[in-house]
């Protein structure tokens, strides 16, 4: 944390908005004043202006039973109608909603009219399979148009989707299916990644075999053409189900607080938590932030958010925000370097992308490759760049603007979380003078503070804990099936102020700098991983006696996962440390998913512990980051750290 502060204090570059950008900007200074004068009326106004309500709401916020907020709760709407039908009814049916680029080079575009018809068919297909409002549907798909169609079809009939990232293992998928008691899974035979087909359906089969049996059917999209097993009576081809379904569908309106989706994310314990979001408030803030933070001009912009639908960014800024706003967007199935390292820039040139939203890890990876590759493509269509998922270091920010944005585009660094549902802190392009490295200011209608551990406001430029002081429309409404954990995780610390789990500081101008997590959650390439979850996976291996996992700074991925393991005496002489390391790294990847695979697993004789048995991760972090080891006087056996240091250096 200290390094970050030192570094950010040196950052003095400022980028005021150009007159040209300000003149056409969607966001207005007036919105800040409007929100400051009457916050609830500000959000009510946005909800009415940006969405179509079947029954208009008369109540804005009910916060009488914290921590569960109710927004617009006597209003009704259909989320899918807001993302589709109303644009067609407004005469924009021919506007492209999705330009899909497959990794092998195939492409398809859907107009709003075509996407609406596909979603209607899918909604009818789901209903005919017996899915009804409130049922949970697990979605385990590559980033292909069917993923978007599936999510909107589930929403259209009032069912609840739980999208599971395609990189998660059978075990991770099974635990999410069980927790939500999903009755249907939508998957594909396989998808394309790094030039190869990665199978999905076999993982679903394996996952279902491990569940407690809630799944009745599996809808399978044909994508990879890989061989798959087929269970008659349970498995159904998506294309056949849709072909049999009617293209007409009369939508039903649901209450604003009707659940829309569950999305699992890592917490500080071994078990992921199912973050629950509802309809009207979520869609309001998704649409508002997508419009104002990305300066969306739906008639002319081509927007591209590179996130997968398995993450919250894919939910809010690939599916719900852009489609609610009638935007034209690009989705890309594959990796940035397939079949060549300029693939993203080629896609931007091909579709004339004007707004790009991606993660600092991707930017740093491109930085390492140099300016020559993007230099081969025409990127002049870009007029706005966004960043999300982790702090963006000023060097990467400036490179992004200079090399990708031609030295002119604003860059907005957006802070938010799975739990917040939508952007909370960000500059507004055309208004804010940009400061590389800082997420800057709360968006209008959001109240943020920085507190000491004891709950007092931090008045100096010292760091503290980030809180959201008042309920916001897209806030989580709970953790699926675990209201106690919801209360404990976010609300026990500061009463009715939401504790985000991030450290932050405010500079003399009032701009906010994010300083990373203050809990045991790591952030690797913008993805959340829990130290506890990886530790419990490691100790589940028959060789492992004990494990400690830490996140250490990494120049490209932000943080990297490093594990220290003690091998059981009975197995100590079975293998050499390199073999133990290889097997344990693979074990975690298999148990949780490849994103959780530790970068290194160090085999050690003992872990550094206090006399009461608490593992001192701080000391392990010192070793892993190459710092002198801090105070070891509280260790039960101070000699342990010397040994660990020697072992880490030796390999």
Q: Which is nearer to ligand PRX, 192 or 288 (CB)?
A: 288
CA distances from 396 to 9, 304, 436, 517, 627 (A): 16, 19, 9, 20, 25
User: CB–CB of 220/237 below 8 Å?
Assistant: yes
What is the C-alpha end-to-end distance of the chain, expressed in Å?
Answer: 27
Cα–Cα distance measured from residue 649 to residue 614, given in angstroms and rounded to the nearest whole number: 24
517 near ligand PRX, judged by CB under 6 A = yes
Cα–Cα distance measured from residue 414 to residue 518, given in angstroms and rounded to the nearest whole number: 19
Q: Taking the alpha carbons of 520, 523, 528, 531 in that order, is the dihedral positive or negative?
A: negative
Helix-, strand-, coil-residue percentages of the chain, each rounded to 5: 35, 25, 40
User: CB–CB of 296/325 below 8 Å?
Assistant: yes
313 near ligand PRX, judged by CB under 6 A = yes
Residue 404 CA to chain centroid, in angstroms?
23
Residue 33 CA to chain centroid, in angstroms?
30
187 is annotated as contributing to ligand binding? no
Q: Which is nearer to ligand PRX, 469 or 634 (CB)?
A: 469
User: CB–CB of 239/221 below 8 Å?
Assistant: yes
Q: Rule CB under 6 A: which of 525-544 touch ligand PRX?
A: 528
Out of 4, 279, 325, 414, the only residue in the binding site for ligand PRX (CB under 6 A) is: 414
Cα–Cα distance measured from residue 127 to residue 563, given in angstroms and rounded to the nearest whole number: 46
Site string for ligand PRX, 52-91 (x = CB under 6 A): ----------------------------------------
Q: Which is nearer to ligand PRX, 112 or 499 (CB)?
A: 499
Q: Rule CB under 6 A: which of 185-244 touch ligand PRX?
A: none
416 is annotated as contributing to ligand binding? yes
Task: Tell which residue, 10, 71, 14, has the closest CA to residue 43.
Answer: 71
Shortest reach from residue 428's CB to ligand PRX, in Å: 15
Out of 391, 421, 429, 473, the only residue in the binding site for ligand PRX (CB under 6 A) is: 391
Q: Which is nearer to ligand PRX, 184 or 305 (CB)?
A: 305
Out of 501, 551, 593, 598, the only residue in the binding site for ligand PRX (CB under 6 A) is: 501
223 is annotated as contributing to ligand binding? no
Shortest reach from residue 502's CB to ligand PRX, in Å: 5
Site string for ligand PRX, 257-276 (x = CB under 6 A): --------x-----------
Cα–Cα distance measured from residue 263 to residue 311, given in angstroms and rounded to the nearest whole number: 8
617 near ligand PRX, judged by CB under 6 A = no
Out of 61, 186, 367, 388, the only residue in the binding site for ligand PRX (CB under 6 A) is: 388
Q: Which is nearer to ligand PRX, 416 or 486 (CB)?
A: 416
417 is annotated as contributing to ligand binding? yes
440 is annotated as contributing to ligand binding? no
Cα–Cα distance measured from residue 68 to residue 490, given in angstroms and rounded to the nearest whole number: 11
Shortest reach from residue 474's CB to ligand PRX, in Å: 12
User: CB–CB of 281/256 below 8 Å?
Assistant: yes
- Long-range pairs for 345-349 at CB < 8 Å and ≥24 separation? 345/373, 345/374, 345/376, 345/377, 345/379, 346/377, 347/101, 347/304, 348/304, 348/377, 348/379, 348/381, 348/382, 349/377, 349/378, 349/379, 349/381
480 is annotated as contributing to ligand binding? no
Q: Rule CB under 6 A: which of 481-500 touch ligand PRX?
A: 500
541 is annotated as contributing to ligand binding? yes
Shortest reach from residue 44's CB to ligand PRX, in Å: 25
Residues found in the chain: 651
Q: Which is nearer to ligand PRX, 157 or 514 (CB)?
A: 514
Grouping H, G, I as helix, E, B as strand and the rest as coil, residue 115 is helix
413 is annotated as contributing to ligand binding? yes
Cα–Cα distance measured from residue 379 to residue 374, given in angstroms and rounded to the nearest whole number: 8
Q: Which is nearer to ligand PRX, 120 or 401 (CB)?
A: 401
Cα–Cα distance measured from residue 309 to residue 143, given in angstroms and rounded to the nearest whole number: 7
User: CB–CB of 577/386 below 8 Å?
Assistant: no
Number of amino acids touching ligand PRX (CB under 6 A): 21
313 is annotated as contributing to ligand binding? yes
H/E stretch holding 451: strand 448-451
Out of 418, 474, 530, 557, the only residue in the binding site for ligand PRX (CB under 6 A) is: 418
Is it true that the peptide bond before 339 is cis, omega within 30 degrees of 0? yes
Cα–Cα distance measured from residue 354 to residue 386, given in angstroms and rounded to the nearest whole number: 11
390 near ligand PRX, judged by CB under 6 A = yes
Q: Rule CB under 6 A: which of 107-166 touch ligand PRX?
A: none
Shortest reach from residue 66's CB to ligand PRX, in Å: 21
Shortest reach from residue 514's CB to ligand PRX, in Å: 4
Is it true that the peptide bond before 299 is cis, omega within 30 degrees of 0? no
Q: Which is nearer to ligand PRX, 204 or 552 (CB)?
A: 552
Region of 8-16, 129-137, 385-393, 535-543 interacting with ligand PRX (CB under 6 A): 385-393
195 is annotated as contributing to ligand binding? yes
Grouping H, G, I as helix, E, B as strand and the rest as coil, residue 437 is coil
Out of 85, 189, 308, 502, the only residue in the binding site for ligand PRX (CB under 6 A) is: 502
371 is annotated as contributing to ligand binding? no
Q: Rule CB under 6 A: which of 419-458 touch ligand PRX?
A: 439
Region of 121-129, 200-208, 389-397, 602-610 interacting with ligand PRX (CB under 6 A): 389-397
414 is annotated as contributing to ligand binding? yes
Cα–Cα distance measured from residue 428 to residue 411, given in angstroms and rounded to the nearest whole number: 10
Shortest reach from residue 276's CB to ligand PRX, in Å: 14
Shortest reach from residue 413's CB to ligand PRX, in Å: 5
Shortest reach from residue 484's CB to ligand PRX, in Å: 21
312 near ligand PRX, judged by CB under 6 A = yes
DSSP per position, 179-246: HHT-SEEEEESEEEETTEEEE-HHHHHHHHHHS-S---EEEEE--S-------TTTEEEHHHHHHTS-
Residues that constitute the known binding site: 193-196, 313, 389-391, 413-418, 502, 517, 525, 528, 539, 541
**Which residues of the chain form contacts with ligand PRX (CB under 6 A)?**
265, 312-313, 388-391, 413-418, 439, 500-502, 514, 517, 523, 528
Residues that constitute the known binding site for CoA: 193-196, 313, 525
Residues that constitute the known binding site for ATP: 389-391, 413-418, 502, 517, 528
């Amino acid at each position: 944390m200290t390094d970050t502060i030192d570094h950010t204090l040196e950052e003095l570059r400022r980028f005021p908005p150009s007159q040209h950008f300000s003149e056409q900007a969607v966001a207005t200074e007036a919105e800040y004043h409007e929100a400051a004068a009457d916050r609830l009326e500000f959000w009510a106004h946005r909800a009415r202006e940006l969405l179509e309500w079947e029954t208009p709401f008369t109540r804005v916020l009910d916060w009488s039973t914290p921590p569960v907020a109710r927004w617009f709760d006597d209003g009704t709407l259909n989320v899918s109608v807001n993302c589709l039908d109303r644009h067609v009814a407004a005469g924009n049916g021919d506007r492209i909603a999705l330009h899909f680029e497959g990794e092998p080079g195939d492409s398809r575009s859907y107009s709003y009219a075509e996407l609406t018809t596909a979603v209607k068919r899918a909604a009818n297909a789901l209903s005919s399979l017996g899915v009804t409002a409130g049922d949970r549907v697990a979605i385990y798909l590559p980033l292909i148009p069917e993923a978007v169609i599936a999510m909107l079809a589930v929403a259209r009939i009032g069912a609840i989707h739980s999208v599971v990232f395609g990189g998660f293992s059978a075990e991770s998928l099974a635990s999410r299916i069980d927790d939500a008691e999903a009755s249907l899974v939508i998957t594909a035979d396989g998808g394309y990644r790094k030039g190869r087909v990665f199978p999905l359906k076999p993982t679903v089969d394996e996952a279902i075999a491990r569940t407690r049996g809630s799944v009745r059917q599996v809808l399978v999209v044909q994508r990879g053409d890989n061989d798959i097993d087929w269970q008659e009576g349970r498995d159904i081809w998506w294309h056949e189900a849709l072909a049999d379904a009617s293209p007409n569908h009369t939508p039903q309106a649901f209450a604003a607080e009707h659940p829309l989706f569950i999305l699992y994310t890592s917490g500080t314990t071994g078990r992921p938590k199912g973050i629950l979001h509802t309809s009207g408030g979520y869609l309001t803030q998704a649409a508002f932030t997508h419009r104002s933070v990305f300066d969306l001009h739906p008639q002319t912009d081509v927007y591209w958010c590179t996130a997968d639908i398995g993450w919250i960014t894919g939910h809010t800024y690939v599916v719900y925000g852009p489609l609610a706003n009638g935007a034209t967007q690009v989705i890309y199935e594959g990796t940035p370097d397939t079949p060549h390292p300029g693939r993203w820039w080629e896609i931007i040139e091909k579709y004339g992308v004007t707004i790009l939203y991606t993660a600092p890890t991707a930017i740093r990876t491109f930085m390492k490759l140099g300016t020559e590759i993007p230099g081969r493509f025409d990127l002049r269509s870009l007029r706005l760049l966004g960043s999300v998922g982790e702090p963006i270091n000023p060097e990467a920010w400036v490179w992004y603007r200079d090399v990708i944005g031609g030295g002119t585009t604003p860059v907005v660094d957006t802070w938010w979380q799975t739990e917040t549902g939508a952007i909370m802190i960000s500059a507004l392009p055309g208004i804010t003078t940009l400061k590389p490295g800082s997420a800057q200011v709360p968006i209008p209608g959001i109240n943020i503070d920085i507190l000491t551990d004891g709950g007092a406001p931090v008045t100096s430029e010292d760091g503290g804990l980030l809180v959201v002081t008042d309920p916001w429309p897209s806030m989580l409404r709970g953790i699926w099936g675990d209201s106690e954990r919801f209360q404990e995780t976010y609300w026990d610390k500061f009463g009715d102020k939401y504790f985000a789990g991030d450290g932050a500081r405010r500079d003399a101008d009032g701009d906010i700098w994010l300083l990373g997590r203050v809990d045991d959650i790591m952030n690797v390439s913008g993805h959340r991983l829990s130290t506890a979850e990886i530790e419990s996976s490691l100790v589940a291996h028959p060789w492992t006696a004990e494990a400690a996992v830490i996140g250490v700074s990494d120049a490209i991925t932000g943080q990297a996962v490093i594990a220290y393991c003690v091998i059981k005496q009975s197995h100590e002489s079975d293998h050499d440390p390199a073999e133990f390391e290889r097997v344990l790294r693979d074990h975690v990847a298999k148990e949780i998913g490849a994103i959780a695979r530790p970068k290194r697993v160090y085999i050690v004789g003992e872990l550094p512990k206090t006399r009461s048995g608490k593992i001192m991760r701080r000391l392990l972090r010192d070793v892993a980051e190459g710092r002198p080891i801090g105070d070891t006087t509280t260790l039960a056996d101070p000699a342990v750290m010397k040994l660990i240091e020697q072992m880490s250096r030796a390999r």
